[in-house]
Structure 1
Amino acid sequence: MSTALSANNRRGELWARLTRVNDPELDEPVTDMGFVERAEVMQNGSVEVDFRLPTYWCSPSFAFLMLDGIRQALDGLSWAPAYTIRLHDHMFADEVNRGIAAGKPFSLIFDELSSDQDIDALRETFRVKAFKRRQEAVLLALRKQGLTDSEILGMDLSSFDAATVGGDEAEAMKSRYREALIERWPGRKGCEPAFVTWDNREIPPDAFGAYLAELRAVRINMEFNGALCRGLKATRYKEMDVVDGEPTLVDFMLDRVPPRNCTGRHVQR
């Protein structure tokens, strides 16, 4: 019984850590996106993770950032296991997997594949987008609670912590925004503003509408990319096991998709 309990605890810890690894472009967990196809604790305590992206040609930079996030998650496991990470069905899968197997650091593997791109600058770009998306969600949730714009923008960190923003989803985003805020400014304390721009400028109430419009544009772009990624992944791996005659991406491209009737089922032309 104790062995089974230990195995379950380890499995739970593994998945809990993996859920904190985000797709950098979308700021959504790689587990929610379906990119982690398998994560298993073996009998000897080692860990194996199989990772698959939506398309064969996904940017190696994005792959690097997510794989490096997974590596950090596995390095943080309490029992310090040996682990294997495998990237599947990607144009650089062989190179990446050989590099990992050879013990090369991810930074070296990345430099070999994408020497023309600054990985730190890329990380920073995605950090800015994640900060803005989380901030907008919390600002809108507070508005929904009936607070005025001046009350929201006047919040310090202590009053923000005490504020109620709505249901479980809103509270989760509140926590994620606070995390991003403190990551950006580690020394931030309770008396400092809860809502500032990425470069730490106050947001004047008379400019709040324009600022929200800027945040909205970031969110819409991220949501579109997220929907595209999910659709591409679902279509790509559904081609081998099409359910109920559902069309693939190839069908859409070749205009082979029959119309649907009022029940949502496809009708033959």
Structure 2
Amino acid sequence: MRALGVVIDPELDEPITDLGFVHTVDVMPDGDVEVHLRLPTSFCAPNFAYLMASDAKDVLAGLDWTRTVTVELDDHHDSDIINRGLAADAGYRGTFAHEAETDLDELRVTFQRKAHTAAMERCLTALLRADPARPVTELGTVTIADLPGNATTESLLRRRVSIGLSTTPVDLVMVDHQGNGYTPESVPLMLRRARSTRISIDGNAHFCRGLLRTRYTDGGSETVREPSAFIPLSALTH
């Protein structure tokens, strides 16, 4: 489950384990692992669904004790197509053929940039709340060294790394995805745009959690199963 925790829903910018998308994990004595994922609706975007399922398979296959890893997506309108493609290691284009209009790497980068924008806004908005007298136009001069050492800052640093930005103390916080800063007069507008991105991500995540709870009576809770027993995740985390 910790390994699956690094698999991120690209649109919601949260781990699939936190979102409840991991339904079951079957662990066998010989190192075979079978994972079943399920999403809030049957019509969630197939490219997002494939990306999460493929990432889940890759991260589990990378563990030093696993032998055969099977990841299946349940209750999706493209479950059969996606599961066949995953089993054959066909890749996204090999799975969807002519329907795969864009490469998943491009999709991943697009949402990594959005996640960075949202993380940047969270940090800067926190500074404004801590010091309401601070002029918004001065946010363009804030550096990483000016941020508190907390989880919000750590989240920003991880997202900077994911899109290739440096994380030295003197780096400006408010930058675009290429690392370019903003003039003082453009800062308020860019902060509002960044806030819109963050609100959209947070709102979608909240909405999807509600849909998952409505679709499944157990709310999408994870279960880790071993050959000798069925162990609910809650029993492992208390």
SS at match of 2:3: helix
SS in 1 for 2:2: helix
**Which letter maps to 1:128?**
R
- Percent identity, please: 33
Q: Per-residue deviation at 1:188?
A: 5.4
1:177 and 2:156 correspond: yes
Change (3 A) 1:199 1:186: closer
Task: Note if 1:223 corresponds to 2:202.
Answer: yes
Match of 1:254 in 2: none
Q: 1:35 to 1:175 in 2, by over 3 A?
A: same
Partner of 1:143: 128
1:135 Cα deviation after fit: 0.9
Residues 40 and 208, structure 2, Cα contact 8 Å, conserved in 1: yes
**Structure 1 residues 191, 73: closer, same or farther in 2, change over 3 A?**
same
Q: Distance in 1 between matches of 2:63 and 2:128?
A: 39
1:203 matched to 2:182? The reply is: yes
Specify which of 133, 141, 144 is matched with residue 154 of structure 1. 141
Contact (CA 8 Å) 1:18, 1:30: kept in 2 or not? yes
Among residues 72, 77, 84, which one is paired with 1:91 in the alignment?
77
Distance 1:187 1:216 in 2: 22
Structure 1 counterpart of 2:101, one-letter code = D
1:194 matched to 2:173? The reply is: yes
Structure number with higher strand proportion: 2
Greater Cα offset, 122-131 or 196-205: 196-205
Partner residue of 1:214?
193
1:19–1:31 contact (8 Å) kept in structure 2: yes
> Size of the alignment, in residue pairs?
216
Determine if contact 1:24/1:126 at 8 Å carries over to the other structure.
yes
Q: CA deviation at 1:230?
A: 1.6
Q: Where does residue 41 of structure 1 map in the other structure? A: 27
Q: What amino acid sits opposite 1:75 in the alignment?
A: A
Tell me how far 1:109 sits from its aligned partner: 4.1
Counterpart residue type for residue 164 of structure 1: P
- 1:60·1:114 contact (CA, 8 Å) conserved in 2? no
Instruction: Name stretches of at least 5 consecutive residues in structure 2 with no aligned partner.
Output: 219-238
Amino acid at match of 2:171: E
User: Aligned equivalents of 2:166 and 2:201: distance in 1?
Assistant: 29
Residue ranges of structure 1 left out of the alignment (5+ in a row): 1-14, 166-170, 240-269
* Residues 226-265 of structure 1 mapped to structure 2, 5 A cutoff: 226-238=205-217
For 2:126 and 2:162, the matched residues in 1 are separated by 22
1:192 Cα deviation from its structure 2 partner: 3.1
Displacement of 1:213:
0.7
Match of residue 51 from structure 1: 37
Q: What is the distance in 2 between the residues matched to 1:112 and 1:231?
A: 33
Partner of 2:67: 81
Higher CA-based Rg: 1
Question: Match of 1:16, SS?
Answer: coil
Which of 107, 119, 132 lines up with 2:92 in the alignment? Answer: 107
> How far is 1:182 from its partner?
2.0
| Deviation by residue 1:110-131 (Cα, 9 ceiling, x = unmatched) | 4427323443332222122111
Are the counterparts in 2 of residues 128 and 198 from structure 1 also a CA contact under 8 Å?
A: yes
Residues 1:210 and 1:63: Cα distance change in structure 2 (over 3 Å): same
Distance 1:214-1:186 versus aligned 2 partners, 3 A rule: closer
CA distance in 1, matches of 2:86, 2:209: 27
Asked whether the equivalents of residues 60 and 113 of structure 1 are also in contact (C-alpha less than 8 Å), the reply is no
**Between 227-236 and 48-57, the greater mean CA deviation after superposition:** 227-236
The 2-side partners of 1:55 and 1:195 are apart by 36
Q: Quote the offset at 1:204 in angstroms.
A: 2.8
